[in-house]
Chains A and B, each alone.
Chain A
Amino acid sequence: LQMELQAVLMAAGGGSRMMDLTYNTPKPLLPVGNKPLIWYPLNLLERVGFEEVIVITTKEVQKMISTDPKVKLDVKMKLDLVCIQEDADMGTADALRHIQQKVKTDVLVVSCDLITDAALHEVVDLFRAHNATLSMLMSKAHEFTETVPGQKGKKKTGEQRDFVGVDGTGKRLLFMANEADLDEGVVIRKSIMRKHPRMHIKTGLVDAHLYCLKKSVVDFLADNKSISSIRGELVPYLVRKQFSKSTNSPKVIDETHQNLKKNDKIQISSRDEELLHLTQERSCWNDHRGDMSDAYHGGRLRCYVHIMDEGICYRVNTLAAYIEANRLAPKLFDEPAVHPSAVVSERCLIGADSIIGASCQISDKTSIKRSTIGVSTTVREKVKVTNSIIMHGVTIEEGCNIQGSVICSNAVIGRGADIKYCLVGSHSTAREHNSKIAPEKRLTECHRAEVNITYHYKSITYNNCHKVSK
């Protein structure tokens, strides 16, 4: 039976916007709700019915997946791991070009940092019903409500907006551009306006980086090596190409398709095209009204988008998103909040929306509210943890008070430490009896300070830093 769609998971990204978290752990393996980030898109694909996935990732991630017992992927699908060089600086489109030989049919490209409960059939139905070339998923952006450690005030959202233009039904994608590419204003071609006089332009949308692409697009990429990013270059190109004059006669993408027909000896004869044309001619349906053109204005290339109004859809590529995702992750799977193997003493208070990982040890008189405690973490007595994310292997000594912070894996928080809205890097130690890591302190002895000069961080401790100046 012919396969309809192949799933491709892009897990080679670096996480350049949250270096604090990713300098030690590769982004696909960051724990969110005590599961590696890559588990979420894999789980989505598995729920929907995929049986195998091509995962494009780096050698480091592949090694960790196979060796590290903590990184249990817990998926039943067959994973075909394709490794690419970390320093090759490959964009997503380059990665697709790399696996062109494995792609036998239309592809569904998913990014590893997508956490969503969207109904995928909405996106795929658009792809199927309209015989579209591209179909993608977007979501209304929600404001992040949690305070992010290390950030003073709200980040400016003015720059780098995405302008997305859709038609009256809200499904057909007419225009897509990023503010960075626009010089002075939004420029819309007259040919588009003539065909679609009503366009809704939206800016507050989050692109989920989930794309259904026709096989001919992958083949097209193989011939056009200049395109390196799907989101940045390929999608705007396809959206523009819908309305270019040459699209109504055999054009770039279709020519590649025809060449491929000859090469692969697929017997899709022109008779089939005739039948499709006959069907369209005899069917009394049109996707627009008001002008004299046939359905789809006779265009052969169509791009569609499904915009989610409600539901969870996050791309975990910034610290703020990471924290928000940790809050909402428990809603996506129904495992018990407290792992059965965790040793939790009786006189501690664990809030309903906290997650305790496996093999934890929580001692008496601790209070854990709205937090995530990672695997094999030890929390001693009289500790108060609120609104925080504690990763794996952390030791928190007695009497600490941790609020609104992110403590990375294998860190040690000394006795009586008071950590508010901070990010403690992995393998670091915050000692000091009664120390307070107060806001806005610049570190003196720190190896990675140069990375943070552009931001106003409250306070960050890194590897091998021991002392915090007062």
Chain B
Amino acid sequence: MADCGAADGPVKKDDIVRAKNEGKELTKEEKQRLRKEKKHQKKQKDEKRPSERAKEKKPVAPSQPVATQPPTQKAPTVLPASAPIPVPASGAPSHSSPAPSPADKPAKSRAEQKAERRARQDADRASKQQSCFSSSKTKAPPSELNPVVKRLPEHVQVDDPAVVKRLAKKLERQQIPLRSDYGYKVSLFSHLHQYSRKAPLTQQLSIPSTVIHPSIVRLGLQYSQGIVVGSNARSVALLHAFKQVIRDYTTPPNEELARDLVNKLKPYISFLNQCRPLSASMGNAIKYIKKEISNIPSQFKEEEAKTKLQKCIDCYINENVVLAAKAISKYAIKKISDGDVILVYGCSSLVNHILCEAYDKSRKFRVIVVDSRPRLEGREALRRLVQRGISCTYVLISALSYILPEVSKVFLGAHALLANGYVMSRVGTSQIALVARTFNVPVLVCCETYKFCERVQTDSFVSNELDDPDDLMVTRKGKTQLENWHDVSSLGLLNLVYDVTPPDFVDLVITDLGMIPCTSVPVVLRVKNLEQ
């Protein structure tokens, strides 16, 4: 045992020494790897000791319970524990490798002693890291504390011609057509894209689309025309389309599925981004699927790999959308009591689901649906709730302060939850939260954990989405007042899609992990990252 300890010691030492000598800071992966190796070696040592002891004991006293070596990382406790046992067994001649009996200790060479001491120190360090969990996080990012210049994403730098040119080149390389901006943009938002629905991207594609898989073209069309709307629906549709892509995929010769499939997906994602900017939930789904694909072991045959990926996708959707919705409803129903008047805004699939479940569990409440132009999504929410039998009231957002004295709770859905606790949701949500706070009405945000994203934003200007400005035109009695808005040079129509609500206005966030305050979002993100 001491031999292998000695054998291991110098090897480990060499590793660390090598890394340090190269001048490179240990990256997070290397540190993790080192930690894992040490743990593994520790475990090996511990397992060998009890196994040897067991073997030695068996000829001696099989009934004697082997103190199943507790998987402590502390070497000092190991040595004294092993001390009393090998003494009676020291006579056993069967095994060549002697247990590190204290009797043998003086026989160890200085190098072996040093190795043991170092092993002990490593084990201590490892255990300390295990126990004080959060401090490890501060140690892990020393590599990230290097000035890592985070590049701004391209979709918020539209007024920088160099970035636009770079994007155009990238799209050209991937053979995706570039969608051109439309109309005069309000100066505060000139850094964002603004597209027209009447100029779809398919105009520039060949009709039996060969570069892009047909189901992705269909998906892009559905996004840009607004047929698939809503964070959950968009992610589910995206994963469904990816399933079709994976099903129709064949590995070209001399290529590995793990790498080639990820490269195949990149142009599709650019295409979908051109049709409509990706949502946070879609981004997380894409990250997950890319990780799954790159983790496919190379010995898998193509069919096996494909079935595994399809199963992963199904699993992801089941866990993060379907089961999460069930879990959230369970928590949320605890917060709905009889006689409640609940206010909802727009059409959030999750909030609708919660309300329908609560109604099925015979809670007595009524709902006020607040709606806003130009999308008027509240009408759809109204239809779904009334179809179930829930009694509803419908107002436009301008009547919010009028209706709020009646309201007992506000349930809001979210598009994404940002790392600083801000809630990104449909434009108008922050208004509702603000007015509700003024009236001292509790605001509860319902959001699944897969929508948590690591972005940080404190205002709605930095990163947003501009919808088609022509949606703001309305025809009443045959007259459209804004018909010729292009001719008025100083007039810009702004159709924002999202806004951010600060955490001070939100009382509770209901997620599938439980009911957490808004400021706990970074903790959840951290836990999720470590799990991966």
A-B contact pairs, 25 of them (CB 8 A): A1-B248, A3-B208, A4-B214, A4-B217, A7-B208, A48-B207, A49-B206, A49-B208, A50-B208, A108-B207, A121-B200, A121-B205, A128-B217, A129-B222, A130-B227, A275-B236, A279-B233, A279-B237, A284-B229, A284-B233, A284-B377, A285-B228, A286-B383, A292-B386, A292-B387
A-B pairs, top 10 by smallest CB distance, nearest first, are: A49-B206, A284-B347, A283-B233, A4-B214, A282-B233, A282-B349, A275-B240, A129-B221, A5-B208, A282-B232
B207–A124 contact, CB under 8 A?
Answer: yes
Contact with B along A305-335 (1 / 0, CB 8 A): 0000000000000000000000000000000
B380–A5 contact, CB under 8 A?
Answer: no
B379 interfacial by beta-carbon distance below 8 Å: yes
Contact with A along B301-330 (1 / 0, CB 8 A): 000000000000010010001100000000
Residues of chain B within 8 A (CB-CB) of A271 are 314
Residues of chain B within 8 A (CB-CB) of A283 are 227-230, 233-234, 237, 349
Residues of chain B within 8 A (CB-CB) of A282 are 230, 232-233, 236, 321, 349
Residues of chain A within 8 A (CB-CB) of B203 are 119, 121
A278 interfacial by beta-carbon distance below 8 Å: yes
B202 interfacial by beta-carbon distance below 8 Å: yes
Chain B contact patch, size range: 35 or more
Contact with A along B203-242 (1 / 0, CB 8 A): 1011111100110011001100111111011101101100
Contact with A along B237-266 (1 / 0, CB 8 A): 101100110011000000000000000000
CA A49 to CA B205, docked complex, whole Å:
8
Give the shortest distance, in Å, between B315 (CB) and chain A (any CB).
11
With A267-B247, A279-B240 in contact, is A285–B380 under 8 Å at CB? yes
With A50-B208, A120-B207 in contact, is A278–B236 under 8 Å at CB? yes
Q: A119-B203, A275-B240 are in contact. List 14 more A-B contacts (CB 8 A).
A: A4-B209, A49-B209, A121-B200, A121-B203, A128-B202, A129-B225, A275-B243, A279-B236, A283-B230, A283-B233, A284-B233, A284-B347, A289-B383, A292-B383
A2 interfacial by beta-carbon distance below 8 Å: yes
With A275-B243, A279-B236, A285-B380 in contact, is A4–B208 under 8 Å at CB? yes
A121–B202 contact, CB under 8 A?
Answer: yes
Residues of chain A within 8 A (CB-CB) of B221 are 125, 128-129
Residues of chain B within 8 A (CB-CB) of A108 are 207
CA A285 to CA B347, docked complex, whole Å:
9
CA A272 to CA B237, docked complex, whole Å:
10
A75 interfacial by beta-carbon distance below 8 Å: no
Majority DSSP secondary structure for residues of A touching B: mixed
Pair count A-B, CB < 8 A: 115
CA A49 to CA B177, docked complex, whole Å:
14
CA A121 to CA B177, docked complex, whole Å:
15
CA A422 to CA B367, docked complex, whole Å:
77
B381 interfacial by beta-carbon distance below 8 Å: yes
CA A352 to CA B72, docked complex, whole Å:
97
A1–B243 contact, CB under 8 A?
Answer: no
Majority DSSP secondary structure for residues of B touching A: helix
Q: Which single member of B207, B236, B243 contacts A50 (CB below 8 Å)?
A: B207
CA A275 to CA B349, docked complex, whole Å:
15
Give the shortest distance, in Å, between B370 (CB) and chain A (any CB).
14
A276 interfacial by beta-carbon distance below 8 Å: yes
The B-contacting residues of A in range 255-286, CB under 8 angstroms, are 267, 271-272, 275-276, 278-286
- Chain B: CB-nearest residue to A123: B207
A131 interfacial by beta-carbon distance below 8 Å: yes
User: Which of A5, A6, A124, A285 has the most C-beta atoms of chain B within 10 angstroms of its own C-beta?
Assistant: A285
Give the shortest distance, in Å, between A44 (CB) and chain B (any CB).
10
- Chain A: CB-nearest residue to B237: A279
A49–B207 contact, CB under 8 A?
Answer: yes
- Chain A: CB-nearest residue to B348: A284
Contact with B along A155-193 (1 / 0, CB 8 A): 000000000000000000000000000000000000000
A129–B227 contact, CB under 8 A?
Answer: yes
- Chain A: CB-nearest residue to B202: A121
- Chain A: CB-nearest residue to B386: A292
Residues of chain B within 8 A (CB-CB) of A131 are 218
CA A131 to CA B221, docked complex, whole Å:
11
The A-contacting residues of B in range 320-369, CB under 8 angstroms, are 321-322, 346-347, 349
CA A384 to CA B229, docked complex, whole Å:
65
Give the shortest distance, in Å, between B252 (CB) and chain A (any CB).
11
**Number of A positions contacting B (CB below 8 A):** 37
Q: Which single member of A121, A278, A292 contacts B321 (CB below 8 Å)?
A: A278
A284–B232 contact, CB under 8 A?
Answer: no
CA A120 to CA B314, docked complex, whole Å:
36
Residues of chain B within 8 A (CB-CB) of A278 are 236, 317, 321-322
Residues of chain A within 8 A (CB-CB) of B229 are 283-285
Give the shortest distance, in Å, between A187 (CB) and chain B (any CB).
31
Residues of chain A within 8 A (CB-CB) of B240 are 272, 275-276, 279
B214–A2 contact, CB under 8 A?
Answer: yes
CA A460 to CA B203, docked complex, whole Å:
47
- Chain B: CB-nearest residue to A283: B233
Residues of chain B within 8 A (CB-CB) of A276 are 240
Residues of chain B within 8 A (CB-CB) of A1 are 210, 213, 248
- Chain A: CB-nearest residue to B226: A285
CA A279 to CA B230, docked complex, whole Å:
9
CA A289 to CA B346, docked complex, whole Å:
16
- Chain A: CB-nearest residue to B380: A284
Give the shortest distance, in Å, between B272 (CB) and chain A (any CB).
14
CA A117 to CA B312, docked complex, whole Å:
46
With A4-B209, A125-B202 in contact, is A286–B380 under 8 Å at CB? yes
CA A329 to CA B26, docked complex, whole Å:
72
The A-contacting residues of B in range 370-386, CB under 8 angstroms, are 377, 379-381, 383, 386
Contact with B along A76-119 (1 / 0, CB 8 A): 00000000000000000000000000000000100000000001
Residues of chain A within 8 A (CB-CB) of B214 are 2-4, 128
User: Which of A3, A48, A108, A129 has the most C-beta atoms of chain B within 10 angstroms of its own C-beta?
Assistant: A129
Residues of chain A within 8 A (CB-CB) of B247 are 267
B321–A125 contact, CB under 8 A?
Answer: no
Q: Which single member of B225, B228, B248, B383 contacts A2 (CB below 8 Å)?
A: B248
CA A281 to CA B243, docked complex, whole Å:
19
CA A120 to CA B217, docked complex, whole Å:
15
Give the shortest distance, in Å, between B37 (CB) and chain A (any CB).
41
Contact with B along A1-22 (1 / 0, CB 8 A): 1111111000000000000000
CA A128 to CA B232, docked complex, whole Å:
21
- Chain A: CB-nearest residue to B352: A284
CA A380 to CA B237, docked complex, whole Å:
69
B317–A275 contact, CB under 8 A?
Answer: yes
B218–A128 contact, CB under 8 A?
Answer: yes
CA A50 to CA B202, docked complex, whole Å:
14
Residues of chain A within 8 A (CB-CB) of B322 are 278
- Chain A: CB-nearest residue to B227: A285
CA A377 to CA B252, docked complex, whole Å:
55
Give the shortest distance, in Å, between A65 (CB) and chain B (any CB).
24
CA A124 to CA B346, docked complex, whole Å:
32
Residues of chain B within 8 A (CB-CB) of A272 are 240, 243-244
Residues of chain B within 8 A (CB-CB) of A50 are 206-208
Residues of chain B within 8 A (CB-CB) of A49 are 205-210
Residues of chain B within 8 A (CB-CB) of A281 are 233, 349
Q: Which single member of A51, A120, A275, A285 contacts B239 (CB below 8 Å)?
A: A275
Contact with A along B255-286 (1 / 0, CB 8 A): 00000000000000000000000000000000
A284–B227 contact, CB under 8 A?
Answer: no
CA A130 to CA B225, docked complex, whole Å:
10
Contact with B along A34-56 (1 / 0, CB 8 A): 00000000000000111100000
Give the shortest distance, in Å, between A420 (CB) and chain B (any CB).
45
With A1-B248, A271-B314, A285-B229 in contact, is A121–B236 under 8 Å at CB? no
- Chain B: CB-nearest residue to A292: B387
Residues of chain B within 8 A (CB-CB) of A279 are 228, 233, 236-237, 240
Residues of chain B within 8 A (CB-CB) of A4 are 207-209, 214, 217
CA A7 to CA B207, docked complex, whole Å:
10
